Structure 1
């Protein structure tokens, strides 16, 4: 193993173990040069590789910092957010804040004819802390078994993907400043840049669920893959 590979492996290990948490400033280049007894170019090579892997952020004149891991989601897919966070951070849990059965949800007119709805509010956590605030409504007329589902044991997104087939979905994605309650729950200042993902799903025209997920802006990526057509 080369010295550059050793430096990279050592830093990766500290990040993976949680010893160096997101936002932690790693030693300056000249400090690593002294520690490993190598050329500055060797240190630069290791840090460049770590930055390309998304593990650190290099800031001019400020140094290098452990990056907040990003959750990647396909624009045209419905991801299992828990699995995505666990894969990226090595840890995941869903904190259920509230759950109630109600008869209306003004945010989604599709539920106008429903007689019973279950509204769930919670936080998706990764190793480094809260990742997303979720406010979800499930149509109990269409999915009666969701009334008794224990979302302290399994997050609603995972439960729905495993139990309820859907035939149609719609996304709406917006850049917002964190509202007061969301900011408090995500432990950031009010107005912090966030990405809000709203999603509706139906089964044969019957509404299944509406969810509004608010992600910290530096921890979520939307990805779309395209295949070129026969004409430009």
Structure 2
């Protein structure tokens, strides 16, 4: 079946945004320019732009036009923190060391991995976050290559996967789960602590317009990291 034109226009802009060809804040062609370029109606163009807006990729401003959305970077527990920014704000130097990288399919029987993969491959990344060269957290991350194809060629020598995603991929929904855990033998060895030592575990699922983007599990030294949220009563 032939792909509808509005879907083709949407997919083209989505690919360019995720690849970084169009950066946050860049202005998209006007509706009139798109109508002329594709020989289509305003309704077709509007459908494409509305879909990009719903996915959190584009901001549409009345009389100003459409722009690539700026990814949100916050440090509250109810949002998605950028560890590099948080550590820098504490006057420390952040670094990230990649310990494992592979592209694979979801493991049989793991429904959450299958849902994240959505019929495609996953990029699995394990690494260690450090503050002033001291291990702060170990990270296990899975990224949906179908949602973020450019991530497969990402260079994580100077930037962590989480920071890369925050800079390149707008998100619309996230779910955090925070718990106290004891370090496994592998985590303990990487963090330089005893097996079973108390740690803070943060698990997060992130979506864009209903499509899963990434799952991450971060295990922090209990005495070296905290999370803060400020909020008010519902409806108040």
Q: Which residue of 2 aligns with 1:192?
A: 197
CA contact (8 A) 1:94 1:122 kept: yes
Between the aligned partners of 2:155 and 2:104, the Cα distance in structure 1 is 17
CA contact (8 A) 2:201 2:217 kept: yes
Q: Which residue of 2 aligns with 1:82?
A: 84
Q: Which residue of 1 aligns with 2:214?
A: 209
Between the aligned partners of 2:160 and 2:166, the Cα distance in structure 1 is 10
Between the aligned partners of 1:94 and 1:178, the Cα distance in structure 2 is 19
Q: Output aligned runs, 1:42-191, within 5 Å.
A: 73-105=75-107, 106=110, 108-109=112-113, 110-111=115-116, 113-127=118-132, 129-191=134-196
Deviation at 1:112, TM superposition (A): 5.3
Question: Match of 2:87, SS?
Answer: helix
Between the aligned partners of 1:167 and 1:97, the Cα distance in structure 2 is 29
Q: Which residue of 2 aligns with 1:227?
A: 232
Question: Match of 2:226, SS?
Answer: strand
Change (3 A) 1:230 1:213: closer
TM-score under structure 1 length normalisation: 0.65
* Larger of the two Rg values belongs to structure: 1
Change (3 A) 1:230 1:81: closer
TM-score under structure 2 length normalisation: 0.64
Between the aligned partners of 1:128 and 1:151, the Cα distance in structure 2 is 17
Between the aligned partners of 1:222 and 1:184, the Cα distance in structure 2 is 24
C-alpha RMSD of the superposition: 1.9
Between the aligned partners of 2:234 and 2:100, the Cα distance in structure 1 is 47
CA contact (8 A) 2:95 2:133 kept: no
> Mean Cα displacement is larger for which, 105-114 or 83-92?
105-114
> Mean Cα displacement is larger for which, 140-149 or 215-224?
215-224
Question: Match of 1:223, SS?
Answer: coil
User: Where does structure 1 lack aligned partners over 5 or more consecutive residues?
Assistant: 1-71
Q: Output aligned runs, 1:23-34, within 5 Å.
A: none
